[in-house]
Amino acid sequence: MSVPTPSQLIAAANGQVQSSEGWTVQPLNADLLEYMDGRAACLINIGSPTRQAVRPIYASESASHLFPQLREHLHMALPYLKGNYVVV
């Protein structure tokens, strides 16, 4: 039985975060991210900064059977995104 290895993440200069598992997250503008996994993609809204200067990423709006690991992947990508975000 093999132990699964964690995904390797690479941050590109354009703000894109790419995983060795084949998914990517990239900012399209200040209020929108694009998540791609395989041949499927979805848009994810980003909210205005809260009092704590954190910008919420609204993953629950885009979650579906096409993207069963969306929230997990966004949590993994957070340290590589420019800015202070939280996944909601």
Q: Please report whether residue 1 resides in a domain.
A: no
Q: Please report whether residue 42 resides in a domain.
A: yes
Q: Please report whether residue 88 resides in a domain.
A: no
Q: Which domain holds residue 36?
A: 9-83
Task: Determine the average pLDDT of the residues in 12-16.
Answer: 89
Q: How many domains does the chain have?
A: 1
- Among residues 24, 36, 34, the alpha carbon closest in space to that of 57 is found at 34
What whole-number distance in Å separates Cα of residue 52 and Cα of residue 19? 29
Share of the chain above pLDDT 90, in %: 62
Which tens digits make up the pLDDT trace of 44-76? 999 999 888 899 999 887 767 788 899 999 999
Judged against a pLDDT cut of 80, whether residue 22 lies above it is answered with yes
- Among residues 36, 14, 8, the alpha carbon closest in space to that of 23 is found at 36
pTM confidence score: 0.83
Confidence of residue 13 (pLDDT cuts 50, 70, 90): confident
